[in-house]
Chains A and B, each alone.
Chain A
Amino acid sequence: MLASILASGLAVGAVYALIGITYNTMFSTSRVMSFTAGQLGMLGGVLGSLFILRLGLPMPVGLLATLACCALLGVVTEVVAVRPVLKSLDQHLYVLSTLAVALLIQHATALEWSTEPQPFPRLAGIGTGVWDEKYWLPVVACAATILGLEYLYRYTLVGRAFVAIAEDNFAARALGLPERNLRMASYALAGAVGALAGFAGGQLLLAFFANGPLLNFYGFIPVALGGLGNNRGAVIGGLLLGLFQQAANFMVGGIFSSVAVFTLFIIVLLARPQGMFGAPAARRV
């Protein structure tokens, strides 16, 4: 029984963590919390089902096609919803513009795909019970993503350029870094990470247009718990959230588990407003 709850909690938590990383990746280069993150996760499931089940593509091709489509959508988001409002970040117009794009994605999916959940294929066909692939695939995807991002940010030129933009946008531009292109690249990367969340968790989430708001919501909590922009914090926050949520589902069930999750969330933020792994922002005076 404990194993079942652990497997379920880690799997769901890994999906939330990946959505948290999606938020962070977009935030790092633009200082914008883009509310399209959950919809990218939803599309990961829907497009995966479309390419593999409906169009009959092999799994690796379906995965690549899904990641590519969502990366493209990430770029479109940057162009239509983020770039126009960057000059007035203090007015928080990005909340409206990214929410509008998120709604567009959701409604378009409902119209063109289905308003009912659709099946998602088994990918590797490995494992049963608590070792079923639907439980370990999201965890593996999450681990691969965090390792890949660590490698990117530490050992590649492009990754270091991302970090430079995230650290100090103006200084990075002054040094001649192509800020706009890097921002677009980070949105494409975020699109792929979001899609991977939905694809790896597709057997749990199914290909359902209404998954977007759920992922938006629960994907934001790891960001707040782990500290804005902190991917390692998001992973730990996401996994803890998943475990706590599934334990609460077992202990108190249904609606009350959501109450428990958000009560804990508020308590953590009251104790550490910058998140568990975030540092208070320093301001030069």
Chain B
Amino acid sequence: MPITRRGLGLAAAATGLAMPAIAQNEPIKIGWLAAMTGPSSAPAIGFNRGVMYAAEAINAAGGVKGRKVEIITRDTQGDPTKAVNATQEMISQLRVHAIWGPTNSGESLAVTAIMARAKMPNIHPCVVDSLIDPAKYPNAFRIAPSNTQWDDAVRGYTLNIAKAKKVAVIGDTTGYGVTAANASAAAFQKDGAEVVTKANIDATQPDMTPDMLRARNAGAQAIVIWSVSTGMIARLLNTRAAMGWDVPFIGHPSLASGEIGTLIDKPANWEKVYAIGYKSCSYDASGKLPPRNEELMQRMQGKVNLHDTLLWWVACGIDAVELVAKAVEATGATANQSIIGHWNSLKQYPGYFGEYSFTAQDHNGYPVSDVVMSAASTGKNGTFALAPGYG
């Protein structure tokens, strides 16, 4: 059959008319940059359980206006290079509608600018403050606390609830440990507290006795910890017990890591240790979570394993998928600007992990009031008891 201009025009018109119909049925594609393997895989495994649970629940209920949610996962192994490659693939080849992740700051620092150039709607839970900047990265939204929010929560608890005015700030010698300890010490001093010692300790240092003696001699009333090294934390706790000192330890979520329980000399060494936690995932004196998450736990029973993970990781994964789905539902579109515009208008959106609020000027959506301290040794199905002192 000869090809004519009229024929071509008709074909083009027909294709053009058909496009909206295809878009209406096309699945909502969410890219998921997950460090599912490698040394920092524990959070991503937890997040993934929430992501899959949410996607299955939405699809089982008929999808979003008839459109299924499709999760496209790439294992970044915690490696920024692999995260960059996966991001490029998601933007250029897979043409996803939004990206959830990465879930650690090292990877996120590598991919945030790439996503910004592509105007790709992005939600992540990474703590480094500079990852959120609506002027530079208008596409990036954080649904977990930032480092500053963690710092504020720890300082608030130390000064106002533990009533400690003289603190020893201890970090490890990693980049994170040094910057977090410096920032924390500066903020304590700004708030009128006395930082009696500040130290960065090599996580493999065999014995912590001299460092703890130094803190005690300086009159520390609380030890503030900024480290992910469970070995170092356990050594500090064992040394505290050997010294017969009952000073509280307050700080990084790693203080509540299950690994600590295997490394301390006796369970009592883990008492008076308060780790950063979240109101939504903390149980009260009667052992109950907030009603919304109590109900979520009931629904997930038998479907999502919570014995070896944290509830906040799972809840945050659910929220990420639902935030994309709700944006498409509200705007009826999967265009980048529609999703970003919807997120910018959210005010106290009731997620399972927290109530998120965003504006065009502020993409730190997690409320600082929801960051609380947990009693570190009370882990139960990924949840913790509130530290003493909360009404």
Contact = CB atoms under 8 A, between A and B. Distances in A.
A8 B200 contact: no
B182 to A, nearest CB: 12
Nearest to A118: B262
Interface residues of B, number: 27
Contact of A117 (B200, B217, B234, B242): B234
A110 B39 CA distance: 9
A201 B197 contact: no
Contacts of A205: 204, 206
Interface in A200-251: 201, 204-206, 208, 210-211, 214, 246-247, 249-251
A246 B206 CA distance: 10
B225 to A, nearest CB: 13
A119 interface: yes
A22 B230 CA distance: 29
Contacts of A253: 197, 199, 201, 210-211, 214
B171 to A, nearest CB: 9
Contacts of A7: 209
B209 A4 contact: yes
A190 interface: no
A129 interface: yes
A5 interface: yes
A115 B263 contact: no
B230 A214 contact: no
A156 interface: no
Contacts of A250: 210-211, 213-214
Interface string B158-200: 0000000000000001000000000000000000000001011
Given A5-B213, A208-B231, A258-B202, A246 B197 contact: no
A139 interface: no
A250 B210 CA distance: 4
Interface string B254-278: 0000010011000000000000000
Contacts of A132: 242
Nearest to B263: A119
A17 interface: no
B207 interface: yes
A246 B202 CA distance: 13
B282 to A, nearest CB: 25
B307 to A, nearest CB: 18
Contacts of B173: 254-255
A117 B230 contact: yes
B212 to A, nearest CB: 9
A15 interface: yes
B200 A15 contact: no
Contacts of A15: 206
A157 interface: no
Interface of A: 1, 4-5, 7-8, 11-12, 15, 110, 115-119, 128-129, 132, 201, 204-206, 208, 210-211, 214, 246-247, 249-251, 253-255, 258
Query: Closest 9 A-B residue pairs measured CB to CB?
Result: A117-B231, A250-B210, A249-B210, A254-B199, A204-B206, A253-B199, A254-B200, A8-B209, A8-B207
